[in-house]
Amino acid sequence: MFFDFRVWLAIYFGMNHGYQRLDIMNMDKKELILAYEIKFAQLLANQVLVKPKLSPWMIFIPFIFIFYFQDFSAYKKQRKEFLANWLLTRKKVLNEVKKSIDKGRKPDTWQLAAQVGLKAAAMDKYDELLKVMVTHYTLLLKAKGDTYGALVKSAYGNRRQDFIFLINRMTEAEKNLNRALVPTLCKTVKDLASTIKKIERGSDKVHRLEINKFFPSVK
């Protein structure tokens, strides 16, 4: 079965220069979590995608400016797809967790994983990643707070190491999924290895920023 690279992007991501300002007033907990995932994706996109630079002299050379405009248009399209793919999986998992809490049942990650149509080995790794997301979102949705930061601190009991443990589990699950998908994708995707490394390095950097933001280390 042919496996489209866009599907991998949706799985991994689903992982304006800077991030959009999000109004957190009157947001419920699910909305706060989703707003933070959007912010995280925007910061990660800054690490992964290269935004074309406009030099002042370019405006005086029309054909050079046209090339810049084409590059910038391509960048905007890539960024939009990047953000959409990052949120795809997160939205599905968050919705499933919210429904499971409301209905008093366990989240069905296998049903979500089966929607993608992966081979058995990759599907197992995808399901493992979904289970880590479920753990995180369940804690957040059951926590107390009117900001995302407050939810994180409530969910993890102000314990920095517990939050770091969750982030490490998430990172390991993402990397395991990548390794399971590479044999299939490397035949059709150019520069796959370097792209994955760039995403993983960017994700690590943004995760370090969020750890230090929510749980500043004591000096």
219 located within any domain = no
Count of residues making up the chain:
219
118 located within any domain = yes
Count of domains for the chain: 1
81 located within any domain = yes
Most confident of 12-21, 50-59, 111-120, 164-173: 164-173
Q: Give residue for tokens 């750890």.
A: 211
The pLDDT confidence band at residue 158, using thresholds 50, 70 and 90, is: confident
Instruction: Tell me what pLDDT residue 47 has.
Output: 85
More reliable by pLDDT, 184 or 79: 79
In angstroms, the Cα distances linking 141 to 19, 30, 167, 213 are: 24, 7, 17, 20
pLDDT tens, residue by residue, 20-65? 444 555 579 999 999 999 999 999 988 888 776 766 655 556 656 5
Q: If DSSP states are collapsed to H, E and C, what string results for the chain? A: CCCCHHHHHHHHHCCCCCCCCCCCCCCCHHHHHHHHHHHHHHHHHHHHCCCCCCCHHHHHCHHHHHHHHHHHHHHHHHHHHHHHHHHHHHHHHHHHHHHHHHHCCCCCHHHHHHCCCCCHHHHHHHHHHHHHHHHHHHHHHCCCCCCHHHHHHHHCCCCHHHHHHHHHHHHHHHHHHHHHHHHHHCCCCCCHHHHHHHHHHHHHHHHHHHHHHHCCCCC
Instruction: Count Cβ atoms below 10 Å from residue 165 Cβ, excluding itself.
Output: 12
What integer is the mean pLDDT of 117-140? 92
54 located within any domain = yes
Instruction: Tell me what pLDDT residue 52 has.
Output: 67
pLDDT tens, residue by residue, 94-107? 999 999 999 999 99
57 located within any domain = yes
What integer is the mean pLDDT of 1-14? 49
What integer is the mean pLDDT of 101-128? 90
Instruction: Tell me what pLDDT residue 195 has.
Output: 79
The mean predicted confidence, pLDDT, of the chain is: 82
Residue type for 59, please? I
Q: Residue 13 pLDDT more than 70?
A: no
Instruction: Tell me what pLDDT residue 1 has.
Output: 43
Lowest mean pLDDT among 74-83, 120-129, 175-184, 186-195: 186-195
181 located within any domain = yes
Lowest mean pLDDT among 55-59, 69-73, 136-140, 142-146: 55-59
196 located within any domain = yes
126 located within any domain = yes
Instruction: Tell me what pLDDT residue 48 has.
Output: 83
Most confident of 16-30, 57-71, 161-175: 161-175
Name the nearest CA neighbour of 181 among 116, 103, 100, 99. Answer: 116
Q: Residue 205 pLDDT more than 60?
A: yes
Range of the structural domain that residue 188 is part of? 5-214
- CB–CB of 98/86 below 8 Å? no
The pLDDT confidence band at residue 19, using thresholds 50, 70 and 90, is: very low
147 Ramachandran zone, left/alpha/beta (phi>0; psi -120 to 50): beta
Instruction: Count Cβ atoms below 10 Å from residue 4 Cβ, excluding itself.
Output: 12
